[in-house]
Chains A and B, each alone.
Chain A
Amino acid sequence: MEIFINNKSYTAEDGETIIQIADKFDIHIPRFCYHKHLSIVANCRMCLVDIEGFKFAQPACSTLVQDGMKISTQSAKTKNAQKSTMEFLLINHPLDCPICDQGGECELQDVSLEYGDDHSNYMQFKRVVVDRDVSPLISTDMTRCIHCSRCVRFGEEVAATKELGLLDRGENMKIDSFIEKNIDSELSGNMIDLCPVGALNNKPYRYSARTWDLSQKKGISPHDCIGSNIFYHIYNNKIVRAVPAENENINQTWLSDRDRFGYEGIYAEDRCKRPMIKKNEKLLTCDWDTAIKTLNQNLNTLKNEKKLDSLGCLISPQSTCEELYLFQKVFREFGANNIDHRTIEKDFDYQQDYPVMPTLGCDIKDLEAYDNVILVGVNIKKEFPILSVRMIQAQNKKTQFFSINFQSSNEDFNPAISLALRNDQLREFLDYLSNKTNKPNYIEEKMFHYIFKYIKSNKKNLIVIGPSIGQLPNQTEILYSLNQYSKKINADFGYLTEHCNNTASWLLGVLPHRLPLGKRVDKEGLNAYQMIEKKLSNYIFYNLEPECDFWNNDLVEDALKTSKMNVFFSSFMTPFIAKYADIVLPISTFAETHGSFINIEGSYQAYKQIIRPKKEIKLGWEVLNNLLFINGANNYTFDTLQNEIKNNIQDFDVTTNNNFKLSNQPLKYIQKDIFKFTLRNTYNTDQIVRRSKSLQQTRTGKLKNILLSNDLFSSHKKGYLEFIDKDKNIKSELYNSDQSLPHNTIAYQSYKIGDAFVGARTGTVKIKS
């Protein structure tokens, strides 16, 4: 249809609103309550426009276009209507923009400069609203609120956890949470962006800079495999704030709190600031030249003595593609085979049959095309908060979610079923679903009814395997059973991985058995677990925190104690590193280097250096490159390196990736004693997040307690918990019962710096009576 705005003709579709057309053609209409990803409420009345044939100006955000409609965004009627709304908004709004944190980026300020009057006739008292401390991430200044209700609608519609509501009515209406309740959701920071005024502010950022002094750099989330796009705001070479960069395919206009506040970890006090070498049992600073040369010498000695089998090369999948690629390249050039990134895993029997790289099995935006999505071993709200948004959207479009985990998942969307099973039960359950075993009696009959009623092979089904499965001692058999089941119900099969770059780690051959693009290695090396368990004499750790990033931190310590050379490429100086390192190479975090990540859909996303590192900290890829160079290889520039990677992966056909066939049925795992597993706490997943002060102050960040299933808890009478984990006695006073755990189960909060050592991530324990 044809409509006219300011006498110019535009084509519009049935069902579009005036503001949508105007936005499409860059015709400015002021607005406060309207947001393209929220429902339309048309309550702020800022977008009123003159439409021919209407006595009064009408809201552009809610008025549907009609053929031949004539709209003016310039006429006196429009201007007067907008000016009057502005006047009303300002009568109760403080006019102290210079001290407001939103100053300079306040939509109210912008609009009032353009549309408001320069003086107010209002002589009465202004409304004042008392504030509470509701969150370590958000500060409130509710006197500034203009009641647009965006924050409330965000909670209701996008996050599906309503934390803020509208209270009281009329002029006294205010936004607040329930009595004495805090804002705790994992997506809460988005309300800061949505708030058009200075009512909801970024608390850590408060007063740290004025907006006009900031510069902006784009980054990719280093905290999960979704790859949210982020704008970092920089002041004096320091990140002071992060906001979403819009990407309709990935994070839309949202950001999880982890992605918004995680960067604080970069500024942790325990950053490695200088290269160091151990001399006479003491770790001393040295210059870079010495450090690299020493490392190179040691490696060449190993090479010459043909002892490279005693070298373990481990790198975190949180590293950039460039680092991952160079890492495997450098150490393979030396002749090493023990190369891996899967430090949180134990059972690797699956690895020959695994696809070239783990992917979700579909694009993130296409999740809503599925009838059924079966989530196994993942709590989306806790582990992939930004994905919750998509799942809620999908659910609103009738996708059903089924969740099977070791603790029933407390999702914000509403899973049709949410089962909590131990690892042995999980296999039995899956095998029953594929008609292979008898019906497990610990699952309610109606669950099966439901599953069989909805999950059928003629439906569009997706099975998603979460990172917790990787931690299991029987991961292979679970993967095998899931694979069988997926064939039976004709489902797509996909993964959500531990870190932001697991997909690249596989694709780029950071593996003991494969080269880049899945090519076979001639001589297969040891996997990550074997490297630790076998107590090698030499280790290279890249971006890894020995205390937290391994399947069993006890074993790591054992290995470090006895080895001869421990080299840490690290951004942080942890107590283990201080104690066991022979060489420490301080390297950049994600933000201090150019880099790229491949997200779980397989999208390659590159970004430029966001801030410069401190003087003595080097970019990780440069250090690796240096090692290559001094051994006579080509000297890469960042661009030639990145192009080599891009050219490599360009040829890879992602669509052929997903045929995963396990050849041999794995052995049956038998669970003895109490099943223990480790929760993946949202704010503990990686080294940067663990060090974000603000996130650690949130409710989730503060979780410490060990959780006991109800049966264990009720049979345990003492005021403390004492149990035997492997050969070690552990005593804890911090424990709770948790009814969302299966029988005979203990759940540890994930590894944290300073927390008690808990041994293996999964396995068995005995309670001391």
Chain B
Amino acid sequence: MNDINNNFFNNETCSMIENIKKKFPEDRKKSSIIESLLILQKNNNGYLTKDIITSLAKYLKVEEIDVYEVATFYSMFNTKPVGINTISVCTNVSCMLRNADNILNHIENKLGIKVGETTKDQKFFLKDEIECLAACNGAPMMQVNHKNYENLTIEKVDKILEEFE
């Protein structure tokens, strides 16, 4: 297997990707792209590189551009370096009605960054979350590394972020 960078494909990752492949008909190689990318991204500090995309394309025997198309479409994929922990504050209607904007402002001030940015110490990436994160009855809410934190208050947020310090 030429061109597959083994740094990204240790045994564990390979077996995970093989398990993904089993879910789909054999000739539907593209089907495994999304979940494989999630795994590879997680192993690479939360973002994808050209190398990863090329390697996955070779591994799955699909075109690089097919993988890249997917990587740029879905919002959970980052094709630029990001911080170690990803914070997504839901600001969609239900959360907005319960003052999510205050929560977001607070986090921005506290971390000294705007949405879409990463803190200097690389600890936090504040994702520009456009979607509703489906926890409207726990509004306002956020996800840190895709774990939900609901019914947020400023104090709660401070505590949560401390856990990641």
Contacts and interface: CB of A to CB of B under 8 A. Distances in A.
Nearest to B69: A165
A162 interface: yes
Interface of chain A: mostly helix, strand, loop or mixed: loop
B73 A177 contact: no
A164 interface: yes
Contact of A179 (B50, B63, B66, B73): B50
B108 interface: no
A424 B53 CA distance: 42
A534 B101 CA distance: 92
A167 B50 contact: no
Contacts, number: 31
Contacts of B128: none
B73 A169 contact: yes
Contacts of A523: none
A181 B53 CA distance: 13
B68 interface: yes
A178 interface: yes
B150 interface: no
Interface residues of A, number: 13
Contacts of B53: 178-179
A541 to B, nearest CB: 45
B76 to A, nearest CB: 13
Contact of A162 (B50, B65, B73): B65
B66 A165 contact: yes
B68 A165 contact: yes
Interface in A174-201: 177-181
Contacts of B72: 167-169
A166 B71 CA distance: 11
B65 A165 contact: yes
Contacts of B69: 165-167
A167 B67 CA distance: 10
A454 to B, nearest CB: 17
A165 B73 CA distance: 11
B47 to A, nearest CB: 14
Contacts of A162: 63, 65-66
Interface in A16-44: none
Contacts of A167: 68-69, 72-73
Interface in A680-695: none
A163 interface: yes
Interface string B61-97: 0011110110011000000000000000000000000
Interface in A499-547: none
Contacts of B66: 162, 165
A168 B73 contact: yes
Interface in A642-680: none
Contacts of A166: 69, 73
Contacts of A180: 50
Contacts of A179: 50, 53, 68
Contacts of B63: 162, 178
B158 to A, nearest CB: 34
A165 B63 CA distance: 10
A177 B68 CA distance: 9
Contacts of A177: 65
B145 to A, nearest CB: 24
A162 B64 CA distance: 9
B65 A163 contact: yes
Nearest to A166: B69
Contacts of B50: 179-180
A615 to B, nearest CB: 50
A162 B72 CA distance: 17
A169 B75 CA distance: 10
Interface string B86-125: 0000000000000000000000000000000000000000
Nearest to B67: A178
A164 B65 CA distance: 7
Contacts of B64: 178, 181
A169 B65 CA distance: 15
A178 B63 CA distance: 9
A178 B69 CA distance: 9
A460 B73 CA distance: 44
A167 B50 CA distance: 14
- Report which residue of B53, B72, B73 has the largest number of chain A beta carbons within 10 angstroms of its beta carbon: B72
A757 to B, nearest CB: 33
A140 to B, nearest CB: 15
A169 B53 CA distance: 18
Nearest to A161: B63
Interface string B13-40: 0000000000000000000000000000
A410 to B, nearest CB: 14
- Report which residue of B63, B65, B68, B73 has the largest number of chain A beta carbons within 10 angstroms of its beta carbon: B65
A706 B73 CA distance: 42
A162 B65 CA distance: 7
Contacts of A165: 65-66, 68-69
- Report which residue of A167, A177, A180, A181 has the largest number of chain B beta carbons within 10 angstroms of its beta carbon: A167
Contacts of A164: 65
A164 B68 CA distance: 11
- Report which residue of A164, A179, A180 has the largest number of chain B beta carbons within 10 angstroms of its beta carbon: A179
B71 to A, nearest CB: 9
Nearest to A179: B50
A198 B63 CA distance: 27
Interface in A276-317: none
A310 B164 CA distance: 93
A166 B66 CA distance: 9
A164 B63 CA distance: 11
A164 B66 CA distance: 9
A178 B57 CA distance: 11
A710 to B, nearest CB: 12
A164 B64 CA distance: 10
Nearest to B70: A165
A167 B68 CA distance: 7
Nearest to B71: A167
B55 to A, nearest CB: 13
A233 B64 CA distance: 36
A180 B51 CA distance: 12
15 contacts: A163-B65, A164-B65, A165-B68, A167-B68, A167-B73, A169-B73, A177-B65, A178-B53, A178-B64, A179-B50, A179-B53, A179-B68, A180-B50, A181-B64, A181-B65
Given A168-B73, A179-B68, A180-B50, 18 more contacts: A162-B65, A162-B66, A163-B65, A164-B65, A165-B65, A165-B66, A165-B68, A165-B69, A167-B69, A167-B72, A167-B73, A168-B72, A169-B72, A177-B65, A178-B53, A178-B63, A178-B64, A179-B50
Interface of B: 50, 53, 63-66, 68-69, 72-73
- Report the 8 A-B pairs with minimum CB-CB distance, sorted nearest first: A165-B65, A178-B64, A165-B69, A167-B72, A178-B65, A179-B50, A168-B72, A162-B63
